[in-house]
Amino acid sequence: MFPFLAIFIIFCVVLGYYIKKGDTSQKEVMDNFFEKERLANGVRKKDISQLNYITIPLEKIPHPLHTDIEKEFFTFGEKNMVNFNGISNTDLKLQYGTANLNELTEYDINYMDMIALLPQYTQELLDANQIDTAQMLLEFAVNSKADSKIIYKQLASIYKEKNQLDKIDDLITASNALPELTKSMIQKELSTIN
């Protein structure tokens, strides 16, 4: 009975140590977050005119389809868009000031909405046999670091159909700039097409 009691006491001491260590580590993470947030809230408004604004090359779309999706897609030509994928609100405030956060969030949402609509529009273009226009828009999205698996898949399918398999390898390389989870999903999908 004594060895069991000794083992139990040692187990409790070790467990208590790791629980305390975990609590201390969690407290450090939270303290660092709140300190960074406190600093970010004190940053004055900065100039955002030099951001990497994303502009859709609408002038390169030769034959309008006159569909609802196309009309909605064209509205993004009038909106400011910036891809802030992977950048937290705290980091945006630190870099550009708290007063710009709402505007920057709107720019990011505009970009995400455009990227969400793009595959539907490019599918309409493909259905209308406007393959080059669809390809151009999909390449535009990849160049703007879109993290949409369907965009990469559509573009890879076009490359495969045109027997441009080396460009699929270029897509895999381009996906390396994306966040890890998205990158691995996209690369797995592309490896099945090549």
Query: What is the distance between the alpha carbons of residues 121 and 117, in angstroms, rounded to a whole number?
Result: 7
Q: At which residue do the structure tokens 């309008």 appear?
A: 64
Query: What's the DSSP call for residue 128?
Result: T
pLDDT (0 to 100) of residue 4: 63
Residue with the larger pLDDT of the pair 14 and 134: 134
b vs e for 30-48, b when ≥16 Cβ sit within 10 Å of the residue's Cβ? Answer: eeeeeeeeeebeebeeeeb
Could you tell me the pLDDT band of residue 94, with boundaries at 50, 70 and 90?
confident
Q: Say what percent of the chain tops pLDDT 90.
A: 54
Query: pTM score > 0.85 for this model?
Result: no
Cα separation values, 27 from 32, 89, 169, Å? 8, 21, 44
| Residue 182: per-residue pLDDT | 87
pLDDT at 151: 96
149: CB partners within 8 A, 6+ apart: 182, 185, 186, 189
